[in-house]
Amino acid sequence: MTSPLANLQSQIDELLARIASLESLEALRAAEPSLTGKRSVLSSLQKSLGGLAPEERSDAGATLQGARRHVEIALEDRRVELAREERRIRLQADRLDLGDVVVQSVRWPATVGHRGLVPSTQRELEDVFVGMGFTVADGPEVESDWYNFEALNIPPAHPARGMWDTFYVDLGEPETVVLRTHTSPTQIHLMELALAQEALPIHSVMPGRCYRRDTPDARHLATFHQIEGLVVDRDITFADLAGVIETFTRSYFGSDIESRLRPAYFPFTEPSAEFEITCTICRGDGCRTCSQTGWIELGGCGMLDPAVFSAVGLDADEWSGFAFGFGIDRCAQMRYQIGDMRALIENDVRFLGQFS
Ligand SMILES: [Zn+2]
């Protein structure tokens, strides 16, 4: 009788070929019962050994066991191989393609940051004044009461203090400290410095941030920017002041925009004036913004009060001068016809992007 294991080698080879041809773990799991399970050729061979004589059965059993072990190892190896391959494919699919992200972002217009409207307006204003022979000076934003008020001829309890809604800084010091309500204290620093360094005369502008306890609305902000001008020299007259204002107005706003001065009161100048410019919206014809007058108020100015000279120790008989100041934010608002000042501080990129 032929041994049931006569074709064992070719049967094993066939099983190994089938294992090698499995393409996925799913296919492997489906094929497993027919390769090594109860429905496999190995199991039928196992059963057929029952018909052998006991002495043959033992040898054949060992042979078959060896063959089965061989198939099981091949199957296990194939399982590991397929699992590795499927994991690799899954990772490949999950991988973030960073190159793709770059391409994606280029589809939107690439944006480069730029200077904000207020700082760029400040630069333009500085440029105009530098062109007129002025230097640019900077001063602290936190000031003592003396620099912000007293040296500017505004003593404590003076009614003029009501002109500025002031933020007071509580440092627990006996000295009163404020957030500067205007850039004028820088004038005092500048005059003290010029006196100490014998650097008179002074022709300077002083731009910077100021603070007032205002509720922001379309025309006011609690934080705003001013530019202050100071001239201290010999034989300075009101005509020099009017000339500087007019030259600035035409240089910055255009040759068809004029300036005019109207009497006003400021504690640190005497005489004082408000200066107005031709309404930039209607060009002088009259509109809602200028209340049909054709003029818009830009800032204040005047001849330096002798009390300010004596506060810093300058001889009012030898020196004379004038000062002027106006809002940088207001300038930007008028030049670009911005209806609401709050747009300047709201950081809406749709607004900011218009001024790149
Ligand atoms: Zn107007």
pLDDT confidence tier of residue 202, bands split at 50, 70 and 90: very high
- Average pLDDT score over residue span 282-304: 89
Q: How far is the C-alpha of 55 from the C-alpha of 2, rounded, in Å?
A: 15
Measured in Å, residue 278 CA sits from the centre of ligand 1 at 8
Measured in Å, residue 283 CA sits from the centre of ligand 1 at 6
Nearest Cα to Cα of residue 116 among 23, 209, 195: 209
Structure confidence at residue 105 (pLDDT):
53
Torsion angle of C-alpha atoms 294, 297, 298, 301, degrees rounded to 10? 130
Measured in Å, residue 301 CA sits from the centre of ligand 1 at 22
Structure confidence at residue 98 (pLDDT):
64
Question: What is the per-residue pLDDT across 82-91, written as a single tens digit (0 to 9) for each?
Answer: 999 999 998 8
Measured in Å, residue 257 CA sits from the centre of ligand 1 at 12
Structure confidence at residue 244 (pLDDT):
95
Contacts made by residues 312-316, CB under 8 angstroms, sequence distance 24+: 312/151, 312/188, 312/191, 312/192, 312/195, 313/192, 313/195, 314/191, 314/195, 314/232
Measured in Å, residue 260 CA sits from the centre of ligand 1 at 15
pLDDT confidence tier of residue 319, bands split at 50, 70 and 90: very high
- Average pLDDT score over residue span 266-294: 89
Q: How many CB atoms lie within 10 A of CB 220?
A: 15
The residue count for the chain: 356
pLDDT higher at 69 or 165:
69
> Is pLDDT above 90 for 6?
no
Measured in Å, residue 284 CA sits from the centre of ligand 1 at 6
Contact in structure between 57 and 51 (CB atoms under 8 Å): no
Measured in Å, residue 288 CA sits from the centre of ligand 1 at 6
Measured in Å, residue 258 CA sits from the centre of ligand 1 at 13
Question: What is the per-residue pLDDT across 54-80, written as a single tens digit (0 to 9) for each?
Answer: 888 888 888 989 999 999 999 999 999
Measured in Å, residue 331 CA sits from the centre of ligand 1 at 15
Measured in Å, residue 256 CA sits from the centre of ligand 1 at 14
Measured in Å, residue 325 CA sits from the centre of ligand 1 at 22
Measured in Å, residue 119 CA sits from the centre of ligand 1 at 26
Measured in Å, residue 175 CA sits from the centre of ligand 1 at 45
Contact in structure between 300 and 272 (CB atoms under 8 Å): yes
Q: How far is the C-alpha of 356 from the C-alpha of 348, rounded, in Å?
A: 13
Percentage of residues of the chain with pLDDT beyond 90: 48
Structure confidence at residue 107 (pLDDT):
56
- Terminal C-alpha separation, the chain: 99
Question: What is the per-residue pLDDT across 24-43, written as a single tens digit (0 to 9) for each?
Answer: 999 999 999 999 988 888 88
Measured in Å, residue 347 CA sits from the centre of ligand 1 at 28
Measured in Å, residue 266 CA sits from the centre of ligand 1 at 26
Measured in Å, residue 123 CA sits from the centre of ligand 1 at 26
- pTM for the complete prediction? 0.66
pLDDT confidence tier of residue 231, bands split at 50, 70 and 90: very high
Measured in Å, residue 292 CA sits from the centre of ligand 1 at 6
Question: What is the per-residue pLDDT across 327-347, written as a single tens digit (0 to 9) for each?
Answer: 999 888 888 888 788 888 888
pLDDT confidence tier of residue 218, bands split at 50, 70 and 90: confident
Measured in Å, residue 296 CA sits from the centre of ligand 1 at 7
Measured in Å, residue 336 CA sits from the centre of ligand 1 at 14
Q: Which helix (H) or strand (E) element contains residue 58?
A: helix 54-94
- Average pLDDT score over residue span 255-268: 91
Structure confidence at residue 140 (pLDDT):
92
Mean pLDDT (the chain, rounded): 88
Structure confidence at residue 215 (pLDDT):
83
DSSP state of 218: S
Distances (CA, A) of 345 to 197, 223, 329, 348: 39, 9, 10, 8
